[in-house]
Amino acid sequence: RIVETDSLKRISTFRSFFKAEDKITALCPLENGSMAMGTESGTFSLVKADGDETWTAKLKGPVRDIGIAKGLLVAGHDSASLTCFNQTGKNLWTTEIERKPSPWPWWELPTPAAVQVAGGISNGKPFFAVGCGDLQLRCIDSKGKELWSVRHYGGVPGRVAVADIDSSGKHRIIEGGEILSCTSACNIFEPDGRMIVGLPVEGWTSMLTALAFGKSLGRHFIGCGANRGANLHLYELGDKGWERRWLKRLGGQVKSIQILGARNRIMAATSQGFLLCYDLEGELIWHRLFNQGIQHLVPMNEKLLVIDHMGGLRKVDILGNIEKLDPLPAPCLITATKDVHIFLTSGSEILYF
C-alpha cells in the first residue's frame, strides 16, 4: 500500500475549452468533435471542436442530461420536459413526461424528471432511453413519442447507458437505480423493451453507483459498483448469458470502474479514496490510498486520470505510479472523452487535456 503525500510533483496540463454563464450540468460529445452542453439555468449550447459556440437556446432549467443519436440532440430538463434540436439549432419538438404512479412513491422524485438521457440506433432509426423520476425507464422515438416504458423496481433509474456490449453491432439499453434506490440491480433491455437480463448487484437500500463495459481477447465484461456491501461485481458474457465471475466488498461507495481489457486489468475507485487494481480473474494486484475520495476514473493514453471529489487530479499508470497534476478550480461533475481529448466540467467551465 502506498499512501499519497503532498511531496509529489505537480504538473499543469489542462486547458480551458469553453466557459458558460453558470454551472454546467450536462455534457455530451458529438462524432464531429462538437460538444453539446447544458447548464443549471437552462442554457443549451452546441460548441464546436475549437471551443467556439455554434448556437445556443434557452430552456427552462436545469438541463439534467443530453442524449445524441443520428444528428438529434435531446435534452432532459426542468421538472418533466424533453426537448429535441437538430445540429443547426432548430427546435424540433418538446414533450412533457406524464407521471405513472408507482406503489412506492417514497422512492420517487417529486416529478417524473428526465434525469438520464442516452441515444442509440435500432433498425436504422434513432431512439432515446430516458431514466425518469417516477421510477420509469422510457424509450422515446425521434418524434418525441413514447414507444414503451418499464418501471425500475423501487428506485429512480439514475444510471442509463446505450452501448454495444457484445460486439454484435446492436445497441442495448443498460440501466440501474442510482437515485433514491432500494436495489442496485443492473438491467439490460433490447431497444424494443424486451428485458434481456437483470444482473443482481446489492440488496436493500443500495444504489448502482458505477457501470463500465469492456472486452479482452473475445471476452465481454460488465463491471458494476454499488454504494455498500458487495459493491464491486464483474460479469462476463458466457454460453448461458451474462454470469457473475466475482465480487468484492470494498469500504465506501464504488464511484468509478474502468475495464482495461488489453492489459487484463480492472480498476475501481471508492469514496474512501482507494484505487484498486485487479486482474480480470479477481486477483488484487495493488491498491493506493489518496487523501480525498475519488469521483471519476478516465482512460488517458496508457494511464488513468484520477479525479477526486474536490477536483484534485492525478495520473496513475498500470503499475500504480502516481503523477500529481494541478487541481481543477472546482469539483468535477461530468467527464467526457472524444478522440484523444478528455473533457471535464468544473463549475461553469469545460476544461480539456
Largest Cα span, the chain: 56
Whether the predicted pLDDT of 9 surpasses 70: no
Whether the predicted pLDDT of 8 surpasses 70: no
Whether the predicted pLDDT of 7 surpasses 70: no
Q: Determine the pLDDT at residue 340.
A: 83
| pLDDT per residue as tens digits for the range 147-177 | 999 999 989 999 999 999 999 999 999 999 8
Tell which phi-psi region holds residue 17, choosing left (phi > 0), alpha (psi between -120 and 50) or beta. alpha
* Band (138; pLDDT cuts 50, 70, 90): very high
| pLDDT per residue as tens digits for the range 196-226 | 999 999 988 899 999 999 999 999 999 999 9
Is residue 106 helix, strand or coil? Answer: helix
| pLDDT per residue as tens digits for the range 17-62 | 999 999 999 999 999 999 999 999 999 999 999 999 999 999 999 9
Residues 344/328, Cβ–Cβ less than 8 Å: yes
What DSSP assignment string belongs to 233-278? Answer: EEEEEETTEEEEEEEE--SS-EEEEEEEGGGTEEEEEETTSEEEEE
* Band (12; pLDDT cuts 50, 70, 90): low
Cell triple for 175: 440501466
Whether the predicted pLDDT of 1 surpasses 50: no
- Cα 230–chain centre separation: 21
Whether the predicted pLDDT of 92 surpasses 50: yes
